[in-house]
């Protein structure tokens, strides 16, 4: 089964005291101790980011590891990736992430992993990378459209409530025909895709929202999609 879990923000790196999304990801594997590999590529393989991953996931019921393209653990990256149950992609510079993945052939490897049942997950850069297009701040001072891996149709925008310039940018780019219709997520919201179908939307924050954006007769429409809150009742 092909699964992708794309988060607008949240998880261990943004909400260290709230691991609802991280635990949801682990549950998707349906294994007692799933193998979880962290890809910190978008952060330039930041040592601090890697340490934060291990300091969190070593206390969860899983087998954590990471893949650095600056210090790869093996020459056989395909076997390494296909041996995992979950790939968790961190945030950072999506443009650099895509470029490095393509140079190393990791884009094709990750697609093969997805087709073989490895769960692909991530936040921010690790969310938009799976779609055809994403709205990125990879270039300082501006939000631009980035062509991504295309495992999921349409476009994606993270941090919809956390960064106020993102909503008007998404509307403008869609109105100008520069980006395809797609989905936006507040911080703390995750889209769970099974195959190409949006199966479920969940949230680690009680009032966070998801959105579907389209263009109808030249007008941009934004439809609120209510997530399932993973915590206690409001």
Q: Which residues are catalytic?
A: 124, 159
Residue appearing with tokens 């998880």? 11
Helix axes 106-115, 94-104, angle to 10 degrees: 90
Check: CB of residue 158 under 8 Å from CB of residue 210.
Answer: no
SS3 25: helix
Q: What is the 3-state secondary structure (H, E, C) of 129-142?
A: CCEEEEEECCCCCC
Residues 6+ apart with CB under 8 A from 226: 201, 209, 210
Reference 155, options 137, 187, 189, 178; nearest CA is 178
End-to-end CA distance of the chain: 33
Nearest to residue 202, comparing CAs of 29, 53, 36, 6?
Answer: 6
């Amino acid at each position: 089964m092909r699964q992708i879990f794309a988060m607008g923000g949240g998880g261990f790196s943004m909400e260290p005291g709230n691991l609802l999304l991280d635990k949801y990801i682990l549950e998707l594997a349906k294994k007692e101790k799933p193998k979880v590999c962290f890809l910190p590529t978008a952060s330039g393989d930041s040592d601090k980011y890697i340490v934060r991953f291990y300091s969190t996931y070593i206390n969860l019921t899983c087998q954590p590891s990471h893949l650095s393209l600056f210090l790869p653990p093996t020459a056989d990256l395909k076997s390494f990736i296909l041996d995992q149950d979950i790939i968790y992609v961190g945030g950072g510079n999506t443009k650099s992430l895509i470029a490095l993945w393509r140079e190393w052939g990791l884009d094709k490897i990750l697609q093969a992993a997805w087709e073989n049942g490895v769960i692909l997950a991530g936040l921010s850069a690790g969310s938009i990378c799976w779609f055809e297009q994403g709205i990125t701040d990879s270039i300082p001072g501006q939000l631009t459209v980035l062509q991504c891996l295309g495992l999921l149709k349409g476009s994606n925008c993270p941090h919809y409530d956390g960064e106020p310039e993102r909503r008007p940018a998404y509307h403008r780019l869609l109105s100008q025909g520069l980006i395809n219709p797609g989905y936006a997520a507040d911080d703390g919201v995750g889209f769970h895709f099974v195959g190409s179908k949006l199966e479920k939307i969940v949230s680690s924050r009680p009032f966070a929202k998801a959105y579907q954006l389209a263009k109808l007769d030249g007008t941009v429409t934004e439809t609120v999609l209510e997530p399932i809150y993973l915590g206690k009742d409001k």
